[in-house]
Amino acid sequence: MSAPTLSRRALIAAGGAASGLLLSRRAFAASKAKLRIGLLLPYSGTYAALGNNITEGMKLAAREHDGKLGGREIEWVAVDDESDPAKAPANVNKLVIGEKVDVLTGPVHSGVAMAMMQIVRQENTLTIVTNAGAQAVTGSLCAPHVFRTSFSNWQTSHPCADVVLKDGRKKAVLMFWNYSFGQESMAAFKEGYAKGGGSIVKEIPVPFPSTEFQAHLSEIAALKPDAVFVFFAGAGAAKFVKDYAAAGLRDKVPLYGSGFLTEGVLSAQGQAAEGVKTTLHYADSLDNPTNHRFREAFKKATSREADVYAVAGYDTVNVLAQALARVQGDTSARKDLIAAIESVRVDSPRGPFRFSKAHNPVQNVYLRQVKAGREVVLGVAQKDAEDPASGCAMAT
């Protein structure tokens, strides 16, 4: 009988243990080493276009700073989060614990953001949320090392309640993707709407990312409300608006929503989107020099039109540039870096904004309407809207 030989599995196990030891002994980077920026974004699925535009916005700003922030060259580390909260812990771990990024940015999906928040709070990772609007990020889960450059769900939905009421519409139906973003948007809208005397006829949740709307649209037509307020984004939003028109509702029941309903998908929606009113902290046609410059540069670099998602990416890198300059690129000087970010005044294509105590942007929310295929700004729905940040210790 031959001597017992090592099975392959034991060899793999030994190899794994050895490489694990090696990795842990890797010398930690000195401050002039590359600045590793983690991108936790969707590059596939219904939100892929959003992930791509955020990335392009970030890269555009990076180029404007010659690829260096605080004197350190940028190294991008991207992970496709597939907008899947189930895979989020593994993906975040990959960036934070495996790749040990200096700054974590992203994600798009609020569910992914919640999973991310649990981990970055434990690991004390400097994090800038570039899209996900979940209230808890700058609310009950707020933390000194977490900032957001995009928006909170409240900011993009609450002001719309006043808009609908001002249009004289007191009976509304709500329809939304049934995950945290949709739920929070509806809660924010309901709060403002009820205060103004409006009543909700029916709430229609749709499982994410399903786009089977037909049965619900028939329901809405039968209910005959004054208005319909929705949350959908990306490809789902494109389909919804088209289906809404195909069901004959566009001209019968006015459609309202947070701006994600039309952002980035207006051309896909075509005529179907005509007349839709939305509230958002940005609009393509905002008339300020930063916006014009930004849009032109973005178009030149990507042959696509910029949108609110690209703006967040653009502003994120600009924020980092300003703050890192103040600490000479030293990401380990955490307290000073945080103070620097907090005091940044961002000259954004959306207009200037600053961070609230809870680290959420304090910004204007605009009322937009689609006219002749373009997003026209009708006015400011709410000036200097600040997210209530309920449950955040830093905000009190």
Q: Using CB under 8 A as the criterion, which residues of the chain lie in contact with other proteins when the complex forms? A: 4-10, 12-14, 16-17, 19-21, 23-24, 43-46, 48-49, 80, 84-89, 93, 97-98, 110-111, 114-115, 118, 178-180, 183, 204-205, 207-208, 211-212, 214-216, 218-219, 221-222, 224, 234-236, 238-239, 242, 246-248, 268
Q: Which residues sit opposite 161 in a β-bridge?
A: none
Q: How far is the CB of 139 from other proteins (least distance, A)?
A: 15
Sign of CA dihedral 145, 359, 48, 218: positive
Task: Select 114 or 188, whichever has its Cβ closest to other proteins.
Answer: 114
Task: Select 146 or 320, whichever has its Cβ closest to other proteins.
Answer: 146
Task: Select 5 or 396, whichever has its Cβ closest to other proteins.
Answer: 5
Phi first, then psi: what are they for 323, rounded to 5°? -70, -45
Residue 261 CA, chain-centre distance (Å), reads: 14
Task: Select 49 or 381, whichever has its Cβ closest to other proteins.
Answer: 49
Task: Select 71 or 275, whichever has its Cβ closest to other proteins.
Answer: 275
Phi first, then psi: what are they for 220, rounded to 5°? -60, -45
Structural contact between residues 47 and 83, judged by C-beta atoms closer than 8 angstroms? yes
Separation CA 141–CA 208 (nearest Å): 24
Q: How far is the CB of 306 from other proteins (least distance, A)?
A: 18
Q: How far is the CB of 373 from other proteins (least distance, A)?
A: 16
Cβ count within 10 A of residue 226: 17
Q: How far is the CB of 186 from other proteins (least distance, A)?
A: 13
Q: How far is the CB of 50 from other proteins (least distance, A)?
A: 10
SS3 state at 37 = strand
Q: How far is the CB of 327 from other proteins (least distance, A)?
A: 27
Which among 138, 199, 211, 140 has a CA at the least distance from the CA of 165?
Answer: 199
Task: Select 38 or 349, whichever has its Cβ closest to other proteins.
Answer: 38
Which among 327, 344, 301 has a CA at the least distance from the CA of 35?
Answer: 327
